[in-house]
């Protein structure tokens, strides 16, 4: 539950825009290319891509690599092979149609043309069978057939059912103003009460009509009659006007009640939902699917400090920050995009302790703070000051037993030191770096640097960080070892 | 001629008047001075390896911890009245001991001592102060191996 809340809280508005935008692009591609072979190939490529992701998830290195190659090649091939279809879609439509419009696949059925052509065929004794689907899906009942997708015209119907045409034996499926399929094989009726003059064409018409709400128009080759079959009713039509009216009634009723528009709307809604689901899945795969961890050492920025004070000491200079987030974000993340800012507006002169919270750390959107180390930072503030301090030599080592160091003069004897007031208040002497006695055998002079402790101390302008030490060594009157 | 004399007379009068005032001002330092009380004065201060009677032996600025003990010798002249002074022993600005010593007029020498060990290596100071904390001198030295 906690993980779910964390996940929901980590979704950015950019992510939602990302998903919606790409879902709409996918949906538009479907709308523009539906009914063309391009869509089927696009679906194939999507399946290839999905297979590749599955292969990656399963750790099938070679398979994923091969599928990735095939997918890339297929994407190129689709553009080359289907360039004409793509061009026709893009050229045939204006910008509004590409971005927003939904082209209807079926137009008004040219009923009069069909009626006229039916009687012309009848006169010429050319057999024909035309199916006008209703709301029922015919795909499962119709076998075979060749996709046609041509506009209905007298010449087109005439040529389809012409004797020498290889597809003239099957049925033509007419949807709207288009002949969707030709040479379709319809289920034959098992009725035994059909007149003996009805051949296979009639039996097929009756077979489909009794199983669906489609209307079937049959032109008899032998007798030149026109028969209309719907449901169980078989009507011989003698006048063109009657046929026109009958077809109009069927097509009109399917439009208003269970028509194609409604079917089309349902199809588009399913496509939109599928696009959304698919893109969401892809988005997850790209982003959340590869949750990654990364850690950086980020320099601490101290902000809003009182200008009269200065930072003389901090417990740390960098904070170890552990982050998690989508792999793509983590991969592109640079340390300088993460900021650790400590607000010193409430800090006082002296020692301050601050707990590092998520408010102190700026992260790019989409990343989650997992670890902060250390969790607290100690900051010492002080008022900058200068102080003149005497210099003392820090002798170390062992002087020869027969020698005695009787005096040393340091030049300059005093130096001006810059640092925090509280530190300087506690200091009364500045020491030199350690000077070894082991090599000293007689009086002499040496230059030595000052040891500034703590390191926040500095030599003020006008003072040198090096002093000269003139020392005096004398022979001991009585050897210590002899004592 | 008479007119010139009339102009000179006031000038001469003014000069005579001003010289009389100067004489009066120079007379004031001639009043007998009040005798000042002689202040306590430090004439010698050193850290040494040993004391022989009331004299320091082998004063130095570096002492081996193997000595075990060192001394801070101070001599005051004059000492106007009996009074206390302090020897404050510091190791690296940290007070290790504060020794009260009494001085007696007219002059006085005195000393304090400090035990030193291996753990006391480093720079030292002895602040010689009066009872009010006024520092007469800081004697600096180091304890080494």
How does pLDDT run across A453-477, given as a tens digit for each residue? 888 889 998 889 999 999 999 998 7
Kindly state whether A413 is in contact with chain B, defined as any CB-CB distance less than 8 angstroms.
no
A111-258 shares its CATH topology with A384-482: no
Inform me whether the pLDDT recorded for A478 exceeds 80.
no
Asked if B145 lies within 8 A of A480 by C-beta distance, the reply is no
Kindly state whether A434 is in contact with chain B, defined as any CB-CB distance less than 8 angstroms.
no
- CA dihedral sign, ordered A431, A436, A437, A443: negative
**DSSP labels for A17-33?**
HHHHHHHHHHHHHHHHH
Query: Residue B9 domain-assigned?
Result: no
3-class secondary structure per residue, A279-292: HHHHHHHHCHHHEE
Asked if B62 lies within 8 A of A437 by C-beta distance, the reply is yes
Query: Residue B19 domain-assigned?
Result: no
3-state secondary structure of B28: helix
pLDDT band at A213 (very low <50, low <70, confident <90, very high): confident
Q: In which residue are the tokens 């001002």 written?
A: B25
Q: Which residues of B touch A (CB under 8 A)?
A: 58-62, 64, 67, 92-93, 121-123, 125, 138, 140, 142, 144-145
Cα separation, A314 vs A50, whole angstroms: 53
Asked if B145 lies within 8 A of A426 by C-beta distance, the reply is no
| The pLDDT value given to residue B131 | 92
Q: Are strands A361-362 and A339-343 parallel, antiparallel or unpaired?
A: antiparallel
Helical spans, DSSP H, in B28-84 = none
Q: In which residue are the tokens 């059909």 written?
A: A194
| The pLDDT value given to residue A291 | 67
A210 vs A258, higher pLDDT: A210
Average pLDDT of every residue of chain A = 84
| The pLDDT value given to residue B31 | 47
How does pLDDT run across B58-85, given as a tens digit for each residue? 999 999 999 999 999 999 999 999 999 9
Cα separation, A179 vs A130, whole angstroms: 9
A255 vs B22, higher pLDDT: A255
Inform me whether the pLDDT recorded for A394 exceeds 50.
yes
| The pLDDT value given to residue A281 | 82
Residue numbers in A near B133 (CB within 8 A): none
Query: Residue B59 domain-assigned?
Result: yes
| A301 close to A319: Cβ distance less than 8 angstroms | no
Inform me whether the pLDDT recorded for A40 exceeds 90.
no
| Secondary structure letter of residue A480 according to DSSP | G
Kindly state whether A437 is in contact with chain B, defined as any CB-CB distance less than 8 angstroms.
yes
Question: Mean pLDDT across the stretch B94-119?
Answer: 94
Query: Residue B138 domain-assigned?
Result: yes
Domain boundaries, chain A: 2-103, 111-258, 290-382, 384-482
Count Cα neighbours of A354 within 13 Å in the Cβ-side half-sphere. Answer: 27
pTM: 0.46
| B140 close to B114: Cβ distance less than 8 angstroms | no
| The pLDDT value given to residue B55 | 92
For the stretch A177-188, what's the b/e string if a residue is b when 16 or more beta carbons lie within 10 angstroms of its beta carbon?
A: bbbbbbbbebbe
Q: Does domain A111-258 have CATH number 3.40.1700.10?
A: yes
> What number is the ipTM of this complex?
0.74
| The pLDDT value given to residue A86 | 74
pLDDT band at A255 (very low <50, low <70, confident <90, very high): low
**Helix/strand number for chain B, H first, E second:** 1, 9
Asked if B62 lies within 8 A of A399 by C-beta distance, the reply is yes
Inform me whether the pLDDT recorded for A162 exceeds 60.
yes
For chain A, what's the residue count? 483
Number of domains forming the structure of chain B: 1
pLDDT band at A480 (very low <50, low <70, confident <90, very high): very low
| The pLDDT value given to residue A254 | 53
Residue numbers in B near A437 (CB within 8 A): 62, 144
Of the candidates B60, B92, B142, the beta carbon closest to that of A404 is on B60
How does pLDDT run across A131-145, given as a tens digit for each residue? 998 877 788 888 888
Closest CA in chain A for residue B142: A395
pLDDT band at B2 (very low <50, low <70, confident <90, very high): very low
Q: How far off is chain B from A356, nearest CA to CA, in Å?
A: 36
Cα separation, B113 vs A355, whole angstroms: 50
Closest CA in chain B for residue A408: B61
**DSSP labels for A181-194?**
EEEEEPPPP--S-S
Closest CA in chain A for residue B123: A394
Residue numbers in A near B142 (CB within 8 A): 393-396
Q: Which residues pair with A342 in a beta bridge?
A: A302
Instruction: Please state which CATH class domain A290-382 belongs to.
Output: mainly beta
Cα separation, B63 vs B49, whole angstroms: 7
Average pLDDT of every residue of chain B = 81
Query: Residue B116 domain-assigned?
Result: yes
Asked if A429 lies within 8 A of B125 by C-beta distance, the reply is yes
Residue numbers in B near A482 (CB within 8 A): none
Q: Are strands A318-326 and A350-355 parallel, antiparallel or unpaired?
A: unpaired
| B78 close to B41: Cβ distance less than 8 angstroms | yes
Which conformational region is residue A152 in: left (phi greater than 0), alpha (psi within -120 to 50 degrees), or beta?
beta
High-pLDDT (> 90) share of chain A, %: 25
| The pLDDT value given to residue B8 | 42
CA neighbor of A243 nearest in space, from A132, A139, A325, A93: A132
Q: How many CB pairs (< 8 A) connect A and B?
A: 53
Asked if A392 lies within 8 A of B121 by C-beta distance, the reply is no
A24 vs B16, higher pLDDT: A24
| The pLDDT value given to residue B28 | 35
Domain membership of residue B121 as a residue range: 42-144
| B122 close to B85: Cβ distance less than 8 angstroms | no
Inform me whether the pLDDT recorded for B9 exceeds 50.
no
Cα separation, B47 vs B138, whole angstroms: 11
Asked if A476 lies within 8 A of B121 by C-beta distance, the reply is no
Kindly state whether A435 is in contact with chain B, defined as any CB-CB distance less than 8 angstroms.
no
Question: Mean pLDDT across the stretch A280-291?
Answer: 72
Residue numbers in A near B145 (CB within 8 A): 396-398
Q: Does domain A384-482 have CATH number 2.170.120.40?
A: yes
Query: Residue B100 domain-assigned?
Result: yes
CATH code of the domain covering residue B129: 2.60.40.1930
Q: Which two tokens stand for residue A301?
A: 């920025």
CA angle at residue A406 from A401 to A407, to 5 degrees? Answer: 140
Q: How far off is chain B from A474, nearest CA to CA, in Å?
A: 10
Query: Residue B98 domain-assigned?
Result: yes
Of the spans A71-80, A373-382, B78-87, which averages the highest pLDDT?
B78-87
Distance of alpha carbon A448 from the chain centroid: 64
Cα separation, A317 vs A347, whole angstroms: 17
Asked if B144 lies within 8 A of A399 by C-beta distance, the reply is yes
Inform me whether the pLDDT recorded for A481 exceeds 80.
no
A187 vs B34, higher pLDDT: A187
Least confident of A84-88, A348-352, A431-435, B76-80: A84-88
Question: Mean pLDDT across the stretch A333-348?
Answer: 89
| A450 close to A432: Cβ distance less than 8 angstroms | yes
Kindly state whether A54 is in contact with chain B, defined as any CB-CB distance less than 8 angstroms.
no
Cα separation, B49 vs A477, whole angstroms: 13
Q: How far off is chain B from A334, nearest CA to CA, in Å?
A: 48
What is the strand order of the sheet B83-91 is part of? B62-64, B135-144, B122-130, B83-91, B94-103
A86 vs B11, higher pLDDT: A86
Q: Which two tokens stand for residue A22?
A: 């790409």
Query: Residue B15 domain-assigned?
Result: no
């Amino acid at each position: 539950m906690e993980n779910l809340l964390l996940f929901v809280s980590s979704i950015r508005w950019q992510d939602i825009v990302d998903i919606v935008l790409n879902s709409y692009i996918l949906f538009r591609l479907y709308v523009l290319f539906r009914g063309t072979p391009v869509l089927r190939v696009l679906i194939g490529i999507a399946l290839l891509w999905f297979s590749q992701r599955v292969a990656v998830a399963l750790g099938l290195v070679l398979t994923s690599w091969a599928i990735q190659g095939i997918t890339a090649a297929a994407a190129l091939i689709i553009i080359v092979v289907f360039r004409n279809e793509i061009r026709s879609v893009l050229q045939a439509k204006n910008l509004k149609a590409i971005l927003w419009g939904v082209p209807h696949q079926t137009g008004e059925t040219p009923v009069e043309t069909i009626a006229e052509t039916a009687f012309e065929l009848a006169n010429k004794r050319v057999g024909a069978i035309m199916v006008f689907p209703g709301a029922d899906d015919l795909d499962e009942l119709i076998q075979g057939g060749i996709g046609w997708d041509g506009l209905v015209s007298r010449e087109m119907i005439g040529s389809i059912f012409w004797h020498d045409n290889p597809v003239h034996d099957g049925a033509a499926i007419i949807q709207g103003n288009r002949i969707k399929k030709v040479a379709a094989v319809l289920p034959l009726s098992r009725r035994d009460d059909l007149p003996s003059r009805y051949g296979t064409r009639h039996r097929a018409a009756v077979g489909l009509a009794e199983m669906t709400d489609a209307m079937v128009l049959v032109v008899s080759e032998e007798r030149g009659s026109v028969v209309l079959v719907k449901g169980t009713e078989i009507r011989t039509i003698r006048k063109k006007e009657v046929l026109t009216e009958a077809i109009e009634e069927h097509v009109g009723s399917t439009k208003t009640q269970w028509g194609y528009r409604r079917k089309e709307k349902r199809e588009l809604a399913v496509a939109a939902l599928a696009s959304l689901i698919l893109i969401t899945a892809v988005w997850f795969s790209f982003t959340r699917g590869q949750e990654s961890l990364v850690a950086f050492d980020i320099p601490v920025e101290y902000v809003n400090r009182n200008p009269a004070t200065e930072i003389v000491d901090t417990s740390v200079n960098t904070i170890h920050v552990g982050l998690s987030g989508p792999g793509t974000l983590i991969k592109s993340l640079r340390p300088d995009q993460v900021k650790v800012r400590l607000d010193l507006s409430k800090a006082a002169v002296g020692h301050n302790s601050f707990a590092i919270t998520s408010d102190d750390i700026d992260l790019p959107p989409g990343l989650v703070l997992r670890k902060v180390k250390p969790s607290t930072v100690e900051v010492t503030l002080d008022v900058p000051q200068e102080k003149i301090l005497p210099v003392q030599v820090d002798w170390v080592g062992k002087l020869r037993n027969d020698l005695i160091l009787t005096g040393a003069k340091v030049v300059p004897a005093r130096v001006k030191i810059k640092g925090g007031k509280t530190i300087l208040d506690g200091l009364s002497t500045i020491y030199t770096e350690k000077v070894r006695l082991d090599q000293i055998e007689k009086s002499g002079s040496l230059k030595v640097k000052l040891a500034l402790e703590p390191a926040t101390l500095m030599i003020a302008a006008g003072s040198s960080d090096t002093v000269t030490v003139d020392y005096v060594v004398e022979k001991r009157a009585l050897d210590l070892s002899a004592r | 001629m008479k007119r010139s004399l009339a102009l000179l007379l006031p000038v001469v009068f003014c000069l005579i008047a001003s010289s009389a005032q100067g004489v009066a001002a120079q007379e004031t330092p001639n009043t007998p001075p009040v005798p000042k009380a002689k202040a306590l004065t430090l004439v010698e201060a050193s850290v040494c390896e040993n004391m022989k009677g009331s004299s320091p032996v082998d004063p130095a600025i570096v002492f081996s911890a193997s000595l075990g003990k060192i001394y801070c010798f101070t001599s005051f002249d004059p000492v106007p009245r009996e009074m206390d002074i302090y020897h404050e022993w510091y190791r690296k600005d940290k007070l290790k001991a504060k020794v009260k010593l009494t001085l007696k007029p007219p002059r006085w020498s005195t000393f304090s001592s400090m035990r030193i060990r291996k753990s006391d290596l480093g720079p030292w100071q002895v602040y010689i102060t009066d009872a009010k904390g006024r520092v007469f001198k800081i004697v600096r030295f180091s304890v080494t191996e």
